[in-house]
């Protein structure tokens, strides 16, 4: 396992916060351009299910560049967005200003939120706490800072076997590494793929009225090139896998060409395809 893969999966124990921050800072511009816009709908859907109303105070944990914070602010909430990565929060702040929105941002580790107990009407995390090396601790922190009667929202990837972009990534790499079937160990993005696991973690954090539903998210139509950009900027683990497999620059071109062929095959000869992935939406009350 490469160091970057270890970092992305939370297995490097030397300076995990510093290393993780650097990894996410590196991809922040590409993540903001390619990934965040594709998840605004999901953010709004999770907030709807959590009962967000104008004027509520919202904390977004591991906010990235705003796929949950921006919809919350658009709906009239008072939003504090936190993330370990200053680069991500810079991107979020830029998006908010362009939209004429006021969103406070603070660099913060979601494992140990520097916030008082019982502070927010709604505490959410979209594709954030699911990545934490100590995910249960992250959910406990979310519960701690929610007000009594407040809601906790977690959006996390569902069954990785049904995540079409992951299947395309594996299939494209097989063009140069035929024996490749996926990362050697299960990446952290999928640690909440089982709805029961998410339900149990929310309950273990002392939350009640726990509801977890699995919905299907459809990503915007993408060409092979756009899908490649989406993949390589989506998470440091992707570059970690490519490095671990010692994919050369020439082989990268072959992988990209294979991905383009996969897109065309799925599109029946067209240039774009809309991929789907299951998402577990967990909502609970403090």
State the pLDDT at residue 268: 87
Give the DSSP letter of residue 122. Answer: E
Domain span including residue 131: 3-159+186-218+278-285
Q: Look at residue 266 and tell me if it is in a domain.
A: no
Q: For residue range 141-186, what is the model confidence (pLDDT) as tens digits?
A: 999 999 999 999 999 999 988 999 989 999 999 999 999 988 755 5
State the pLDDT at residue 33: 96
State the pLDDT at residue 6: 33
State the pLDDT at residue 15: 47
Q: Look at residue 263 and tell me if it is in a domain.
A: no
Q: Look at residue 238 and tell me if it is in a domain.
A: no
Half-sphere exposure of 47 (CA within 13 A, CB side): 27
**Under a CB-based contact definition with an 8 Å cutoff, are residues 107 and 83 in contact?**
yes
State the pLDDT at residue 4: 32
* Strand intervals (E) in the chain: 57-60, 78-83, 103-107, 120-126, 146-157, 208-218, 276-285
Three-state secondary-structure class, residue 59: strand
Residue 196's CATH number: 3.40.50.150
State the pLDDT at residue 240: 85
Q: Could you say which residues of the chain have pLDDT below 70?
A: 1-16, 184-187
Q: Look at residue 30 and tell me if it is in a domain.
A: yes
State the pLDDT at residue 16: 60
Q: Look at residue 270 and tell me if it is in a domain.
A: no
Q: Look at residue 29 and tell me if it is in a domain.
A: yes
Residue 213 phi/psi, 5-degree rounding, is -125, 145
Q: Look at residue 98 and tell me if it is in a domain.
A: yes
State the pLDDT at residue 185: 53
| Count of structural domains within the chain | 1
Q: Look at residue 208 and tell me if it is in a domain.
A: yes
């Amino acid at each position: 396992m490469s160091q970057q893969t270890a970092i992305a999966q939370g297995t490097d124990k030397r300076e995990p916060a510093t290393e993780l921050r650097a990894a996410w800072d590196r991809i922040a511009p590409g993540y903001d351009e390619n990934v965040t816009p594709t998840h605004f709908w999901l953010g709004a859907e999770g907030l709807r299910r959590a009962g967000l109303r104008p004027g509520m105070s919202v904390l977004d944990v591991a906010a990235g560049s705003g796929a949950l914070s921006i919809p919350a602010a658009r709906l009239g909430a008072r939003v504090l967005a936190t993330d370990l990565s200053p680069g991500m929060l810079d991107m979020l702040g830029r998006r908010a200003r362009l939209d004429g929105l006021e969103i406070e941002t603070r660099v913060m580790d979601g494992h140990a939120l520097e916030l008082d107990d019982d502070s927010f009407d709604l505490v959410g995390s979209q594709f954030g706490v699911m990545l934490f090396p100590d995910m249960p601790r992250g959910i406990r922190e979310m519960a701690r800072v929610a007000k009594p009667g407040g809601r906790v929202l977690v959006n996390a990837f569902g069954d990785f076997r049904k995540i079409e972009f992951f299947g395309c990534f594996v299939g494209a790499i097989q063009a140069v590494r035929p024996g490749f079937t996926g990362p050697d160990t299960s990446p952290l993005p999928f640690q909440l793929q089982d709805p029961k696991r998410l339900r149990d973690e929310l309950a273990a954090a002392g939350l009640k009225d726990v509801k977890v539903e699995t919905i299907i998210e459809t990503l915007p139509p993408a060409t092979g090139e756009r899908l490649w950009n989406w993949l390589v900027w989506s998470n440091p683990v992707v570059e970690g896998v490519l490095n671990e497999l010692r994919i050369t620059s020439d082989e990268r071109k072959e992988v990209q060409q294979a991905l383009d062929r996969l897109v065309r095959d799925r599109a029946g000869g067209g240039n774009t395809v809309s991929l789907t992935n299951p998402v577990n939406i967990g909502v609970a009350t403090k």
